[in-house]
Amino acid sequence: MTNYEEKLYNQFIDRINDDNYLIIQWHITNRCEEKCKHCYLDKEKIKDFPNEHVDLVLNKIYDLSILIKKKVIIILIGGDPLLNPIFWEIVKKINKYNFFFKVSGNHHKLSLKNIKRLKNEGILSYQMSLDGPEQINDNIRSSGNYIKTLNAIKDLIENDIEVTIKSVVSSYNIKHIKKMLYEISTIENFRNIKYNFCRFIPNKNNEKHFIENIKPNLYKNFITEIFELLNDQNKIEILLREHLIIPILFEKNIISENFIERINYIYKKYNRTNFIDSCSMWRDFFVIDINGNILPCKKVPIVFGNIIKDDFYSIKIKKDQFLNTEENECQICKYYLFCKGCPAVSYSLKKSIFKKDPTCWIEL
């Protein structure tokens, strides 16, 4: 195997390990000090997850984890989760259950004191967003966001907290993200950064921005350029979360047929049905929104139940049954086990998670 195939193989093994976890993405607040143009949240009314139901939610997560024999990772998101008035209380309660936790937020509350506190509480990783070089990013998010985010990343790294940078790719910034990544890759003392990106998905709260959809070939060229840039340095590792990156790696002969055989062997050995696929929706992954509703993805408004009112195991069964109700349009594609496209993009533009990803360039 090539060096990159070895790295890719290790990421697939990590995805196998993900199947050993019940992963909860928990919206604990919609409070946020940014004004991102692509934000999908309704922020007209400030709202936190109801304090009185926090213990109930953690109990139900624990009960389901015991029932399905899986460890738990809770990803606290918002808004900015640190703006929830009882953020630290929630973290302490998570730790009492011996759950793992991650945070997806921004720089605003990342004082050195809070960073050290996150480290002491055992945080696995902190995800922050950057959407282009300074001018582009700040136009999307807020003035000064770019520099302040880089400073926060530096402080996180210095305190040995793993950092993931995520970009929302739209028609506005798609031609500028490569420049941003190059700038980050040249910053002294930056190391071991994970990079992830997703596509802008319009809804009623953000649809007036970036109306033009990304054309398939433009997106293909974007992924190719990003991969080639990041493959040529050692500070930033691109994650296999973007669903359409795998076909490009095959098309460019970066990964070989022998690699497919090796992955297929593991696939059979571990008796997995979806572990290769990059989308967490097909795993024991659940989004809890600000009202307790449970969704398969924060950008797919299909509600399977409410964790406050309903039995969590029954909700899991309902989700599993739904994912098997319809054949996926991509099933005939040779990259099906590795890809399936982005269900959220398909749902946004075609009203079904089972339709072919509209940004995909592959002819079926």
Residue 361 lies in a domain: no
The CATH number given to whatever domain includes residue 101 is: 3.20.20.70
Residue 354 lies in a domain: no
Domain range enclosing 56: 3-326
Residue 213 lies in a domain: yes
Give the whole-number percent of the chain exceeding pLDDT 90: 63
Q: pLDDT for 247-287, tens place per residue?
A: 888 888 777 777 767 776 766 666 555 545 568 888 899 99
Residue 351 lies in a domain: no
C-alpha span between 350 and 364 (Å, rounded) = 17
Note the pLDDT of residue 273: 52
Cα dihedral: 263, 342, 194, 90 (round 10) = -110
Residue 360 lies in a domain: no
Note the pLDDT of residue 285: 95
The closest alpha carbon to 354, from 320, 322, 311, belongs to 322
DSSP 123: -
Residue 339 lies in a domain: no
98 torsion bin: left (phi>0), alpha (psi -120 to 50), beta (else): left
C-alpha span between 222 and 228 (Å, rounded) = 10
Give pLDDT < 70 ranges for the chain.
1-4, 15-18, 42-44, 203-212, 260, 264, 266-278
What is the domain count for the chain? 1
Note the pLDDT of residue 45: 75
